Amino acid sequence: MSVAAAGAEPAGGVDAPVDATSGPTTADADETGAPGRRRSKAAGIGISTSWLATGLLLFAIVARGFAAGRAPWANMYEFAVVGAFVALAVFLGVNSRRDVRYLGAFVTGLAVLFLAVAQVNLFVPADGVQPALQSYWLVIHVGVAIIATGIFTVAAVTSLLQLLRDSRDSGSVLLNRKAFGWLDVTPGPVQLEALSFRLNAVAFVLWTFTVIGGAIWAEHAWGRYWGWDPKEVWSFVVWIVFAAYLHARTTRGWSGRRAAYFVLVGYACVIFNFTGVNLIFNGLHSYSGVPTD
């Protein structure tokens, strides 16, 4: 490409003729423009497919609710399905305001994993619920918990990408540029951390309401606000971990890799609260609806 084609003044002055053949060659277009257009087209197809899949999943959730005659999130199967939907909806909602398509493969991958585990290991027929769950708090308390979990999921994916990008940029032997060149499409670690922080801040507020709402419902159902039930304890543990994360980042200057690890530890607690607490411990929340042989 000539200097004139690049937008600078030609060597012979402003009146010097411009070589009409000095623009990008066909080879240049194939090496730069064409792959970029293909990637952009593929990303557009991926987003459109995600919107379609999320719409179909919403239809399935509504149909489940009609079949059961209640809010469709009263057991582990339904919680996993609705949680996958919320994670997808959060990703698509954020992407409508800013370009976060780089999160797509990870968020949709996790959603597919959640749906597969739910269908294979957690499925139970649509049915009614126990008397303790026949309350409007099932809609409010559990519904808000699912929304918070979906946001935590997207935030954890963002923090994971932050760690990968930071390690790659720091010259990690395991994350060399050739094998992890796809990370170039993501923002830098600072931008990824900022996005994760905003998502976690919103999810934390919702989780705070989840804990408070659960205590109010417990008083209505069992006559006490707090009883150190395993689910109550681990919900509070999740709250403590993310409260510590937000405090450390905003007042103690924790940032970078330490903050990202903090987020992943908090998300691990969220997952354990959903799986381990329901499957391992016995308590007043043991009506999770896990299928038995």
Long-range contacts, 97-102 (Cβ 8 Å, 24+): 100/195, 101/43, 101/46, 101/47, 102/161, 102/185, 102/186, 102/187
What is the tens place of the pLDDT at every residue in 70-116? 999 988 999 999 999 999 999 999 999 999 999 999 999 999 999 99
pLDDT of residue 279: 83
Closest listed residue to residue 285, CA positions, set 248, 235, 212, 249: 235
For residue 222, what pLDDT band results from cuts at 50, 70 and 90?
A: confident
Q: What is the DSSP letter of 219?
A: H
Angle, helices 76-95 vs 189-222, to 10°: value is: 140
Q: Are residues 61 and 151 in the same domain?
A: no
- Domain span at residue 52? 26-88+98-126
Query: CA end-to-end span of the chain, whole Å?
Result: 71
Domain identity same for 154 and 270: yes
Greatest extent of the chain over all pairs of C-alpha atoms, in Å: 90
pLDDT at residue 203, as a whole number: 97
> Do residues 174 and 115 both lie within one domain?
no
CA distance 125 to 135: 20
Is there a contact between 82 and 142 (Cβ–Cβ < 8 Å)? no
Instruction: Judge whether 2 lies within some domain.
Output: no
Q: Are 130 and 287 in contact (CB under 8 A)?
A: yes
- Which residue has tokens 């935590």? 152
Q: Mention every residue, 6+ apart, whose C-beta is less than 8 A from residue 151.
A: 86, 90, 199, 200, 202, 203, 206
Specify if 237 maps to a domain.
yes
Task: For 107-132, give the DSSP string.
Answer: HHHHHHHHHHHIIIII--------GG
The answer to whether residues 137 and 113 belong to one domain is no
Residues 227-257 pLDDT 10s: 888 889 999 999 999 999 999 999 888 888 9
Q: Which residues of 175-206 are buried (b: 16+ CB within 10 A; e: fewer)?
A: beeeebeebeebbebeebbebbbebbbbbbeb
pLDDT of residue 146: 95
Q: How many domains does the chain contain in total?
A: 2
Query: 214: Cβ–Cβ under 8 A, 6 or more apart, which residues?
Result: 141, 232, 235
Clarify whether residues 107 and 173 are in a common domain: no
CA distance 59 to 63: 6
**Cβ-based neighbour number of residue 37 at 10 Å:** 11
| Residue 3 confidence (pLDDT) above 50 | no
Question: Is this structure's pTM higher than 0.85?
Answer: no
Looking at the domain assignment, is residue 3 inside a domain?
A: no
Rounded CA gap, 119 and 278, in Å? 17
**251 or 289, higher pLDDT:** 251
280 and 152 together in one domain? yes
The mean pLDDT of 272-281, rounded to a whole number, is: 85
78 with 149, same domain: the answer is: no
- Is residue 256 in some structural domain? yes
**Separation of alpha carbons 21 and 35, rounded Å:** 23
Per-residue pLDDT tens digits for 148-173: 999 999 999 999 999 999 988 887 76
pLDDT tens per residue across span 19-65:
333 333 333 334 445 656 777 788 889 899 999 999 999 999 999 99
Same domain as 176, residue 81: no
Burial grade of 269 (CB within 10 A; 0-12, 13-18, 19 or more): buried
